[in-house]
A and B are shown apart, each in its own frame.
Chain A
């Protein structure tokens, strides 16, 4: 769904349980049927790290990585952009947006929420 500018969360079509990362079977009811819901993109920072070394090509360092509690109840690992490393903290509200790289690859990333 990221290619369409959306953040999807996998949902069991039978018991409606949301699951992430996606997998083929529902661990609760064993259904193989699933669809997805569109996430609001709102969440809070559950944990974070700032990567400085080693530096791999294609990434901007220092790289702020966040584990986000999405308001729908699942978690997502992503990057926090447009944020000084010193400003990141536990519990801060964040908002997802889709970032497109030079190759046209689209990826959900987060910014600190403006209305925090």
Chain B
């Protein structure tokens, strides 16, 4: 009988650094700061950490972090590939480690100087020595260097097929910017966005313009995972991991899965949805709020369909009805998300999922929140997580 991950582990602590455009400190410092903050939040000593999980894109190795924070001997460490696709995958790895006894206190972290340090979209150069670099050569040669350019081909096709308008993308950006008005950590705090401003923004990669893009941020975010049983004795109400999975499907490339029969759906996200719902024993009707990965506005609308909140092509109607707002059917990215809070590669969306389950978000809906769905990066090998209140 395989081990089910349902209700085995829980998130007991979340830790953030301040978010900025210029941290002035190293990525290792950011990692150490957010990890100790997550320990404080949980009421756990850093010396109890015996597992660490991060992204292959993170510059900070586990052993550097372990020495910096004074962790215990490590019995579990791993890094996950594919950029923001790693986000909830880190939680999946942590939950597996806990369910199988490989570790007892696992911290998942992502820390980056994403604006003042290495920025996205700089391209690659040098010898083509890996299969990944061979893959990029088919696109970067033509000037397709930025993530927005890769997503634009999918967004354009999707919008044309289903009659999604620029205003619909704008509704996503504005809904999340409105959430950010309640969140002092958010870059968008105090920066309201109108539809007129949205539509007048500088084009970048048609049909995507400035406000369709996420932030570039310096900062770190850490998530402390332990057994559900132990989490009940710690400082906060646990955010129990009802289900979590990674997902990659046939024809998968990293951001450029251009060779499937249709471009206007997200097969890897549909796979993540089917697996996470089955594991949790839940369906879309049971989800009260979400943190859908939002590197770009178009991705949010497409995921409403992938996760079964509406039929194919009807994501735009949900957005027009205000479903993503605080009083809507599916309050989404109530902290502002990657678009209006910060771009910590999806880890800050997981932290918001925890706050929603705790009832502690600055954008907390008035309705009860029992289950929150969080997703990883879109257009890459990805994953999904359902957090539940105990």
Contact = CB atoms under 8 A, between A and B. Distances in A.
Interface of A: 20-21, 46-54, 56, 59, 63, 65, 67, 74-75, 77-79, 85, 90, 107
Contacts of A67: 153, 258, 263
Contacts of B139: 77
Given A56-B123, A65-B149, A79-B142, A49 B205 contact: yes
A49 B153 contact: yes
B124 interface: no
B156 to A, nearest CB: 5
26 contacts: A21-B134, A21-B138, A21-B259, A46-B263, A47-B153, A47-B156, A47-B157, A49-B156, A49-B205, A49-B206, A51-B204, A52-B202, A53-B203, A56-B143, A59-B143, A65-B149, A65-B153, A67-B258, A67-B263, A77-B139, A77-B256, A77-B258, A79-B142, A85-B206, A90-B157, A107-B141
Given A20-B259, A49-B149, A51-B149, A78 B202 contact: no
Interface of B: 121, 123, 134-135, 138-139, 141-146, 149, 152-154, 156-157, 160, 202-207, 256, 258-259, 263
A54 B202 CA distance: 11
A23 to B, nearest CB: 8
Given A56-B145, A78-B142, A48 B156 contact: yes
When A and B form their complex, which 8 residue pairs have the shortest distance between CB atoms, in order from nearest? A49-B152, A50-B206, A47-B157, A59-B143, A47-B153, A53-B204, A49-B205, A63-B143
Nearest to A52: B203
Contact of B263 (A20, A47, A52, A78): A47
A47 B138 CA distance: 16
Would you call the interface of chain A mostly helix, strand, loop, or mixed? strand
Nearest to A75: B259
Contacts of B154: 47
Contacts of A49: 149, 152-153, 156, 205-207
B216 to A, nearest CB: 12
